[in-house]
Structure 1
Amino acid sequence: SLPPSHLITFIMPAYFDEPTRTGYWSVPTFEELAYYAGILPLLGILLALRRPTRLTWFYVCLMVIGLWLALGRYGVLYRLAYDWLPPFRLVRAPGRAAFLFLVAATALLGHTLSTWLAVPAAARRARLARYWRWAVAVPGVALFAALAATGAVFMAVHPTDTSGRLWHQLGGYSMALLLLALGGGLLWAYLAADGARRRRVWGGALLLLMVADMWLFAFKMVRLEPATADAIWLEAKAVIGDTPARVLPWGVTEFSQNFPLAVGLHSLFGYASMQPEDVIALAASVPDPRSSAYDVLGAEYVIASVPLDQYLEGERPLTLVAQQGGTYVYRRGRVLPVARLVGQTEVIAEPAAATARVHAPDFDPAATAILDETPPCALPGEAAGGEAEILEMAPGYWRIETTSAAPALLVLAETAYPGWQVRVDGERAEPLRAYTAVRAVCVPAGTHVVEWQFAPRIYWLGGGISLLALVLALLAGRRLGKQRLAA
């Protein structure tokens, strides 16, 4: 959520500094809370309110809604949207709604300048002269007062742990005041200019100011060196090598969780959308790398940046494979194949009860699968023989060959995410959910080929909506062009 205190970053984007140079002090994370549109769009709001149109109020409402949603838990609108608009739940981080403010503020600046340019130059100057002086002077005085107050506090507390931050904020206030003065003056010069040639000159100056404003904020985030995975993943890769085996990162920082993709390791976890809720709930049910939950998720290796000596004893203990640099690689005591056949099932619809059953001492996940509904096939009720061989594995696609003397349930230790479709020998089959989080499907006796493909219907729905929006935009543009020609 965007804390109310972060609204000041719409004027001073580095008020809490930034993480690439000197550090960042505020709620995490900087990337989720940086929505600086520049000083000119803020001045554009003041300019728009002097001569508003219906489109002006639309943009203003869009900005208000965006900021209100971005407040998340600090406001009520996000809660209402989350409860009453189910698709809105996919947004996840409320602060991202501030993007609506960025779009609306920038579009409003362009619309406002076009609106004012439609007014004759003399009338424009008459209507703006007094108003614009006050519109720029009032926030200018406020910024100067904040600058003076911050300077006074700095002088009173320097040197202390906080004086460095105050010094940084003095620079931020000074830059905002300078940009406000330049922006206000250039906007007035642009709108007050008589000839098209002069207006082009002042317009170029406005563009230069806008680019300079954004660049002064953003250049620190431009990185020319390639992004490399954290050392723990590079060192783990050196030990584990090329294998489809699942890796369980233990105690690895949140923002490092997607790096296994870069080195070719198959991690159980990920960051942001790479963390399906059902998998996390199952994995976190017992905070122990020896847990049965990690058996059904197919984990073979455990990696950590510190020794895990406390897990080297007890039932199914870890075994140290190697230490590479500062990384410790362990093998789990019980490893189940990523794709396997079982002949017994238990039906437990309630996720919490199903998860508890996974950890029961008398439950054997190697022989029995827990489903949330009765499977559409008759299973022998005993340990399934046969094997499941992964023939092909690619993003969004799995091809597996099964061989068994009796009907069995193929369990694939991959997330049972909506949109996965399964075929057995080319015929559509019913996908099942096993152990609350992974995929399963019934296979007949004999040898068969099972194909899993990620093809969510919502892609087609989204594509249809986008296509319709594009057609409507083209029709609206054509109609607007005809109206302008007629005028």
Structure 2
Amino acid sequence: MSATATLRRRPSLAAAALYAVLALLFVAPALVPGRTLASTDLLWSIAPWTADRPDGVRDLGANWEMADSVAQFQPFLAYTRERLPDIPLWNPYIEGGRPFNANMQSAIFSPFSWPAYVLPFWWSLGLIGALKLWVPAFGMFLLARRLGQSVGASLLAGMVAGFGLFHVVWLAWPLSSVWAWLPWVLLATDHVVRGPTRRAFAALALLVALQYFGGHPETSFHVLAAAFLFALLRGPKKIAWFLGSVAAGTALAAVVLIPFLELLAHSSDLANRSGRDPAKTPLRFGLALALPDYWGRPTQLVSQPFIVTRAFYAGALPLMLAVVALLKPTRERVAIAATGAVALAIVLGVQPFFFIANHVPGFSQAHNTRLAIVTLLCIALLAGWGVDTARRSRALILFVALAPVVAGLARSGAYPVGEAVKVAWGFATPKDVDVLPLASILIWIPFAAIAAALLWKRPRWLVPAALVLTFLDLARAGMGQNPAIPVSHAVTPRTGAMDAIGGRRFVAVGDPDSGITPLTANVGMRYGLRDGRGYDYPTDKRYDDLWRRAVTKPDPLGFALPSTMANSNETALRAMGLLAVSRVMSDVPLPLPPVYDGPDARVYANPRAVPRAFVVGAETVTDDQLAAVTAADFDPRKTAVVSQRLNVSGTGDARIVTDEPERVVVRATASDRGLLVLADTWFPGWKATIDGRSAPIVRTDQLLRGVVLPTGTHTVAFNYVPWSWRIGWIVSLLTAVSLAALAWRR
């Protein structure tokens, strides 16, 4: 059977195959043996690896803007892979320990994480990228077909949704793991509100759960808000079915949502967000709708950083087709266009939309610049309708083609055209930021000219030409944004400085003028190193309060969590010493006792560090533990700060005999009634036993775990068995069984 016949008889199967081929082609450089879809070569520009940087690794790596993936998402994925089949509930390697599954960004249950669990890790990253492209593309195709678009129009809509730039540049983040399900959620929503059945109800619930599993609650809120508006558009009389299905999907995801809500309740995130200014993207970046490289790309040269804030490009032809679609206005087309326009207005801070959105519950706490994904999907749908719209306005087509050129030239300065042509089409690497605007205009012109010519004449072969042109356009803009690098560049070795840290807890302190901290927070997880810092949300309130007061101040620009940084002054050393931070790595000399001095880094001892486990025989009772533990004369090795009198007086010693993520066993001796202190973070869910008998855990010294010891030698076991996990998986299991029974019944 020919490809054309297959497309006619089984269009969905043909579309799925086409998108699979295109997705694999898009990430093909990362699927070559020995290469990976990562920017982990960034680490070679950071101590302790700078001295051994391999030839061919550029400064700050292939794409320095993907630092979050290097420092957070890859270590989380690798940690989950290492712990399975046990579900990792606790992460002992950052912040003195913190919940792992509950942070949601670990995305343990996301289908996009599964390839990393069963395939070679570095190769799996490329396949995960391809899946994140294929899922939204095919979902949008099915949605467009459901909305009455022709097969060719739906193919174009799916291509824009899957390969549009805003989705592509976020491919390494969990946000894209949530966005990928948005077209499917809208498709299932349409089934539920237009002709509700039990199976449609169960399907929408499953998709709601899958997008929760993607690992970004804020983005899940945006997805469900968009689905709610779509439900109102398509079937307002059946909105109760939609709400019920969303509720069922939320229950199905209880295995991650209930632990997350527990962590959120004990975090400082909501309080910290309440006082910050709402985020917006500068209005000038609206020009990126047509000129995505106007400010450069991080894999080459940029005049303005963070392409993720301005990656609005959906292709020249889709942009024109979206405008053409409105020449035949219908209720759905106008509503979709209005939604996309309002979403972009909120992103760019256009009033009154920006003000209204940031005063609506939910949106007022969210980072709404990410609503650009809604604009991308609206353009995708409109582009499909534009293919099926016979009407055309040549004046309007010319305006869309020429407006970016005029606007771009108005903002750019003079530059030699010949050099700009070389940069635009890859014959030269940009070395001067002044060439970027003109080069981006010279990229737009041929794509826009061909697109305008196609719409001007509308030949019978418009659809295949549109598909080819759009893919080439989006591939030029998006391929390489997620670089494929050699695995040998992605893997950084364990160094002498890291060996000097050993199993002790540490922090890394860098040159304050360089802006780059050695051994970036969370990266130590890759090597089994325990870092007193951490990069993870939501942040435990007691830990965050201590860090902000005594260790480091918040970033005034809001780019970094305070917990990712550390200072080496006396106040900071005392505060970090509470968490048994006994080693300090640095790439500059520090006035501390040296432990190791090598070409990779220096390691110092922190004389203020407590042992990981110790026995205290005196107490200070106060409700303001933070003030007490940050006082200059406080010595945690002699006195414990608690909120209720314990009547301890005995001294003694302690040693850890079992040290696992969710289980720590201590052998301790007390001369009289004493307090065993474990210098790990206190959090609900930790239970203790003394010689096998249950014992309460006392929050000690602001954020540590304490257990009152009787006289003598005892074995104290700490086990992490949170009620939130137990209730969560039970609710998820019961919901799954109920939905399966509902879908099975006719």
Instruction: Give distance in 1, aligned partners of 2:498 and 2:382.
Output: 51
In structure 2, runs of 5+ residues without a counterpart are 1-278, 420-429, 551-566
CA contact (8 A) 2:668 2:716 kept: yes
How many angstroms does 1:20 deviate by?
1.9
Deviations 1:106-155 (A, max 9, x none): 34434x25xx64xxxxxx43xx133xx23321122222324554676336
Tell me if the contact between 2:505 and 2:580 (Cα under 8 Å) persists in the aligned partners.
yes
Instruction: Work out the CA distance in 2 between the residues paired with 1:62 and 1:341.
Output: 61
Say which one has the larger Rg: 1
> 2:392 aligns to what?
129
Asked if structure 2 preserves the Cα contact closer than 8 Å seen for 1:289 and 1:302, the reply is no
Give runs of aligned pairs for residues 249-398 of structure 1, distance below 5 A: 249-251=508-510, 253=516, 256-271=520-535, 273=537, 278-286=542-550, 287-290=567-570, 291-308=573-590, 312=591, 318-350=592-624, 354-371=625-642, 373-374=643-644, 379-382=646-649, 384-389=651-656, 391-394=658-661, 397-398=662-663
The counterpart of 2:687, out of the listed 422, 432, 449, is 422
Aligned position for 1:212 = 472
Q: Please tell me whether the aligned partners of residues 618 and 639 of structure 2 are also in contact (alpha carbons under 8 angstroms).
A: yes
Amino acid at match of 1:63: G
Residue pairs, 1:179-258, within 5 angstroms: 179-186=447-454, 193=460, 198=461, 202-221=462-481, 222-226=483-487, 228=490, 234-240=495-501, 243-251=502-510, 253=516, 256-258=520-522
Structure 2 residue 50 is matched with structure 1 residue 50: no
Instruction: In structure 1, give the amino acid aligned to 2:631.
Output: A
- When structure 1 is superposed on structure 2, of 260-269 and 272-281 the one drifting more is 272-281
Distance, in Å, in 2 between the alignment partners of 1:26 and 1:282 is: 35
Residue among 374, 392, 403 paired with 1:142: 403
Residues 389/42 of structure 1: CA separation in 2 closer, same or farther (3 Å cut): same
Alignment of 1:161-172 (within 5 A): 164-172=432-440
Q: Percent identity?
A: 21
The equivalent of 2:664 in structure 1 is: 399
- Indicate the SS of the match to 1:224: strand
| 1:143 and 1:177 in contact (8 A); partners too | no
In structure 2, relative to structure 1, the CA distance for the partners of 1:166 and 1:319 (3 Å cut) is same
Deviation at 1:412, TM superposition (A): 4.0
Native 8 Å contact 1:379 1:407 kept in 2:
no
Partner of 1:484: none
Q: Secondary structure at the match of 2:549?
A: coil
| 2:295 counterpart (8, 13, 16) | 16
How far did residue 102 of structure 1 move? 3.0
The Cα of 1:57 is off from its aligned counterpart by 4.6
Cα shift at 1:301: 0.8
Alignment partner of 2:415: what SS? helix
Partners in 2 of 1:53 and 1:400 — Cα distance? Answer: 67
Cα distance change on mapping 1:46 and 1:275 into 2, 3 Å: same
TM superposition score normalised by structure 2: 0.48
- Measure how far apart 1:296 and its partner are: 0.8
Q: Structure 2 counterpart of 1:102, which letter?
A: L
Query: What RMSD in Å do the two structures reach over aligned CA positions?
Result: 4.4
Q: What is the aligned partner in structure 1 of residue 340 from structure 2?
A: 63
Residue-by-residue CA offset, 1:37-70 (whole Å, 9 max, x unaligned): 3334433431332334444355345434543554
| 1:11 positional shift | 2.0
Task: For residue 479 of structure 2, give the secondary structure of its aligned residue in structure 1.
Answer: helix
1:330 Cα offset (Å): 0.7
State the secondary structure of the residue aligned to 1:382: coil
SS of the residue aligned with 1:129?
A: coil
In the alignment, what sits opposite 1:100?
A: 374
How far apart are 1:323 and its partner, in Å?
1.5
Work out the CA distance in 1 between the residues paired with 2:334 and 2:522: 42
- Cα distance in 1 for partners of 2:640, 2:455 equals 69
Measured in 2, the distance between the counterparts of 1:457 and 1:73 equals 42
TM-score norm. by structure 1 comes to 0.70
Is 1:38 aligned to 2:315, yes or no?
yes
CA–CA distance in 2 between the matches of 1:54 and 1:464?
38
Which structure has more strand as a fraction of its residues?
1
> Does the 8 Å contact 1:37/1:105 carry over to 2?
yes
Q: Distance in 2 between matches of 1:49 and 1:343?
A: 77
**TM-aligned CA distance change 1:359 to 1:203, over 3 Å:** same
SS at match of 1:365: coil
* Residue 404 of structure 1: how far off its partner (Å): 4.5
Number of residue equivalences: 422
Per the TM alignment, residue 78 of structure 1 is displaced from its structure 2 partner at its CA by: 6.2
User: 1:452 is matched with which residue?
Assistant: 720
5+ residue gaps, structure 1, are 118-123, 313-317, 480-487
